[in-house]
Structure 1
Amino acid sequence: MTTRTRTSPPASDERLSPSTRKTLSVLVFGGAAAILDSTVVTIALDRLTTALGTSTGTIQWVVTAYLLAVAVAVPMSGWAQARLGGKRAWIAALLVFVVASAACAASWNAGSLIAFRAFQGLGAGVMMPLMQTLAVQSVGTAGGKVMSKAVTAVTVPLALGPILGPVLGGVILSQLSWRWIFLINVPVVSVGVVLAWRMLAPDPPARDGGAGKLDVVGLSLLGPGLAGLVLGLSNLASGAHFVRTGTWLPLLGALALLVAFTCWSIRRRGRALVDVTLLSGHSLSVASIVLFTAGAVLYAGMVLLPLYWQQLRGATVLETAFQLIPMGVGALFARVIAARLAARIGPRWVTVGAFLVTAAGTVPFAFAGAHTGQWWLGAVLFVRGLGVGAVVMAPIMVAYADVPYEQMPHATMLTRITQQIGASFGAALVAVILQSRADLGAEAAFHYVFWWTTALTVLALIPALAFRRAALAPAREPDRVDGR
């Protein structure tokens, strides 16, 4: 048996190939349901508390259990792709998600709903990084503008989720039973399964004997480590003090497990669940740090802005969702522009500029009160949306610049993990700061925390200065071993 190496056929510098377009369409259609679901469920917690006859503290686990399951499942996506092949792994993740969605709709009490939401999170946790990996791999050797279009396409659901999710949830809850926030996933994801089966190109599992073998030790370290980190930060964000066991014990335990996993991964390298040695590459390491800071900034705003409208301005959930639409529109618009600019002028100044625009769209809220004009705040939110929509584009594109084709799943998992940790950190930070200044009164407390958010955004741009004007194309794809 011999091994031959080839490169993918050269693609146009300007256009996506028909096969890539088909792949991206299938991935976006299937992945949108998971992103919408997370935003829809968040605004339904009050209704669920009443309908299931439970407490707010208990029903909050509907969100927390989902996030914990996602944290555990993200590192599994690389193994699933190696074990099953990308197409089969994608379909399997969709099936888990749709079955769990139907089970959530059939829940009979809070405990069953929490359990089924954890099951749903396992499917979503594999889907999200796998969508990104398959999209980048579909580009082949093409880079620059073609790469930017692929990244733009698969991040569209991330921009649409905050726009459509709350509005869709508000409409469903105003007209139908809460069960429909889960049932609506069933037909959509079922169609996604059919499209994936018919349209995604078949790719066999990895033939490397160790590639498809699950790193059980790594999973037992990384999975609980990430879950403990998310749990500790979630408890901190929900009002628990650090001195409480429910906060410091998960965080310290998580730190110990993550350090142990890092040592284990360095020892096993490519055979580890996630190969952390890839972070020795400049592009991936800088991109991961920037995505951590970007996650913190994005989720700080996602937590803070709805609270501002509901607690200070007395808006309902649905009114809040409509008020935040300008930010989503700005984010959607910015994704196309930012990707093209990053391909043309490089990632450094695009990312720095995105953070500065985000900060400029945050400062006015440090002066806004309960009666500040809606049109003015809408314009400010649109500007902020331009920043938050652009801030992750260049880092995602750069992350794969010096990563071999077969290691792309590991690179995706590293970027997703760092972004998720940053998101949990940002959400916890603003929640703690807001609670610590509650004695100042609502308006003064919000002004204080918006200044903190602005400072966090400015500090977040510092790692982006380390970006080089690197090629944005992924590495070349090796040919598979054949028997001829």
Structure 2
Amino acid sequence: MRLIAVVLLGGMLGILNSTMVAVAIDPLSKEFDASITTVGWASTGFLLAVTATIPFTSWAVDRFGSKRMWIIGLSLFLFGSLLSALAWNAESLIGFRVLQGVAAGVLDPLVLVLLARGAGPARAGRVMGLMGVVLSLGPVLGPVAGGAILEGMSWRWMFLLSLPVGLVALVLAVRIVPADPPRGSEESQMRLDVLGLALLGPGFAVLVLALSQSADRGAFTVWQVLLPLIVGVVALIWYAVHALGVRRVPPLIDLRLFKNTSFTASVTVMTLSGLATFASLFALPLYYQQLQGHGTLAAGLLVTPVGLGAALAMPLAGTLSDKIGSRFLAQAGAVVAALGGLFLASVSATANEVWPSLAALVMGLGLGFVGAPTMGSLYRTLPMHLVPQGSSVLYMLNQLGAGIGIALVTVILKTVGDGDVLKGIHGVYWFAIGTLGFLLVATFFLPGRITAPPTAAAPAGEEPQTVPASS
């Protein structure tokens, strides 16, 4: 339990910082006398750095050990936080935020790796449920915390407050996180897939950039979107050809992982869940601000039921999934989340805040019952030596799903709404309901209860032995 607390404390830093700065874009643009577009790169650069670094982490864990990489990630994050607090112009802030993003790209997948290794297959759902609390609350508490800090303190405190928390997390990690020797002794197994690293991380990063640009511009057909989109697709296709070819150096991410039906279903469900979650988190503040006249901080607080619902559901859902399997819980969660979305797809502009808040809570509860069991099933169906690669795939596709969700919201608001904010928000939630429908189909391929844990010697594409869940 001490290990879980220490890992979650460190993991919380990157998750909160990824969203906290979003509410400070306007005051930072005034502070540095820069455009909002320029300062916005403080958030975009962080996100791209996270995405580009994650594939490297999956290799580095095997090469250097998870404890060593965790300590390196925490130290680098603290250094980036200090430099960000001392930034003197927009360009320096962007550069230091990219450094923070590199550190978060080490920490984020390592959270799942350390928890999965510490829990073992039998308790994977329970531990992923606890991790889900942080994942659920981070995106909604980040803007709230940022808004609260900006109400009474300098923007620099958004970064300075990370230092004492990070130092505590670092000291505890040195003492509590168990040391693990690097895996394998063959030189070929330890060599870095340089071409894969140059293609996979940047390929996903420019796809996220394309989605971010489409969100900013409200269109997919401008060159600022199409150019990175084409570059990203070409890079990923090139990586697939490279990874499936015969060579001496093992690929950064072994695509044979996707031969495992349970793994493919798990990452598909989590990608669609990220898409629906971030579409909701992006649209709901607009409803409260533009239709009900609330300020930034109040709108942020009114959005918290989405994250709160998921945080309440995930520990229970994760524990239950260890006993009855993941499939039924994820299916029930998808249905419940869709019911919450149905109310928000027809909410009026003058509705009492209680009702959309309750609907958001229901939607969050449903998504929580999807998330924890699905993450638990992923780690129960992978051999332990493939957990770092599985974590990398999960995080990259979840980031991509979030980016797609945000980008499509802006397009829906512009095309469906056509100036009518309420109509656009209704369109966003109908899109979220449709996404949950596809998610429900994918849950049928999730595994039942596992009778024997996967062994370290299992091939990448081999299915573990399962029996249908008792549900």
Per the normalisation by structure 2, the TM-score is: 0.92
CA 1:442/1:139 → structure 2, altered by over 3 Å: closer, same or farther? closer
Q: Could you tell which deviates more after superposition, 442-451 or 46-55?
A: 442-451
Are 2:164 and 1:184 aligned?
no
Offset of 1:474 from its aligned partner?
A: 5.1
Partner of 2:426: 447
- Matched with 2:89 is 109
| CA–CA distance in structure 2, aligned partners of residues 240 and 377 of structure 1 | 26
CA positional deviation for 1:181 = 0.6
Which SS does the other structure have where 1:471 is aligned?
coil
Q: Counterparts of 1:60 and 1:473 in 2: how far apart (Å)?
A: 48
Indicate conservation of the 8 Å contact 1:401/1:473, yes or no. no
Per the alignment, residue 95 of structure 1 pairs with 75
1:252 corresponding residue in structure 2: 230
For residues 52 and 438 of structure 1, the distance between their equivalents in structure 2, rounded to whole angstroms, comes to 34
Equivalenced residues, count = 455
Deviation at 1:416, TM superposition (A): 1.5
Partner Cα separation in structure 1 for residue 55 and residue 444 of structure 2 = 28
Counting only pairs closer than 5 Å after superposition, residues 311-322 of structure 1 correspond to structure 2 as 311-322=290-301
Match 2:285 to one of 306, 311, 319: 306
Aligned to 1:34, which of 14, 22, 29? 14
CA shift digits 1:170-224 (9 cap, x unpaired): 2210110001111111111111111100111111222332333221110111122
Q: Alignment partner of 1:444: what SS? A: helix
Aligned equivalents of 1:474, 1:108: Cα separation in 2: 53
CA-to-aligned-CA distance 1:65-117 (integer Å, 9 cap, x gap):
11110110111111221122110100001111111111111111111111111
Corresponding residue for 1:217? 195
The aligned counterpart of 2:215 is 237
How many angstroms apart in 2 are the aligned matches of 1:163 and 1:64? 18
In 2, Cα distance between equivalents of 1:470 and 1:246: 46
Any idea what the Cα deviations from partners look like across 1:405-452, whole Å, max 9, x if unmatched? 212111111121221211111111121111113434222222232222
Local SS of the residue matching 2:318: helix
Q: Is 298-307 or 64-73 further displaced after alignment?
A: 298-307
Correspondence for 2:467:
none
| Equivalent residues of 2:323, 2:449 under 8 A apart | no
Structure 2 residue runs of 5 or longer lacking an equivalent are 458-471
SS at match of 1:305: helix
Match of 1:427 among 403, 406, 431: 406
1:204 is aligned to 2:181: yes
Is contact 2:133–2:310 with CA below 8 Å preserved after alignment? no
Letter in 2 for 1:134: L
For residue 37 of structure 1, report the CA deviation from its aligned partner. Answer: 1.2
Residue identity (%):
35
Name the CA distance, whole Å, in 2 between partners of 1:241 and 1:162: 25
Per the alignment, residue 61 of structure 1 pairs with 41
One-letter amino acid of the counterpart of residue 464, structure 1: T
Cα distance between partner residues in 1 of 2:278 and 2:452: 29
| Alpha-carbon distance, 1:275 to partner | 1.2
Matches within 5 A, 1:58-457: 58-140=38-120, 142-143=121-122, 146-208=123-185, 209-267=187-245, 271-457=250-436
TM-superposed CA distance for 1:457, in Å, is 2.0
Cα distance in structure 1, aligned partners of 2:394 and 2:304 = 27
Root-mean-square deviation over aligned CA pairs: 1.8
User: Is the 1:79–1:211 Cα contact (8 Å) retained in structure 2?
Assistant: no
| Bigger Cα displacement from structure 2, 437-446 vs 245-254 | 437-446
Residues 306, 363 of structure 2: 8 Å contact kept:
yes
Return the offset for 1:395: 1.7
CA distance in 1, matches of 2:59, 2:414: 41
Alignment partners' CA distance in 2, 1:55 and 1:437 = 29
| 1:455 Cα deviation after fit | 2.1
What stretches of structure 1 of length at least 5 have no aligned partner?
1-20, 479-484
Kindly provide the amino acid, as one letter, of the partner of residue 136 in structure 2. Answer: A
Separation in 1, partners of 2:237, 2:413: 31
Q: Which amino acid aligns with 2:155?
A: W
Mapping 1:462-473, distance limit 5 Å: 462-471=441-450
Q: Counterpart of 2:126 in structure 1: which amino acid? A: K
How high is the TM-score relative to the length of structure 1?
A: 0.90
Which residue identity does 2:203 align to in structure 1? G
Offset at residue 473 of structure 1 (A)? 7.0
In the alignment, the residues of structure 1 paired with residue 253 and residue 452 of structure 2 have an alpha-carbon distance, to the nearest angstrom, of: 22
Give every structure 1 segment of 4 or more consecutive aligned residues whose post-TM-superposition deviation is greater than 3 Å: none
State the alpha-carbon separation in 1 of the partners of residues 344 and 163 from structure 2. Answer: 39
- 2:139 and 2:393 map into 1 onto residues whose CA distance is 24
The corresponding residue for 1:17 is: none
**Other-structure match for 2:463:** none
Q: Are the aligned partners of 1:300 and 1:426 in contact in 2 as well (CA < 8 Å)? A: yes
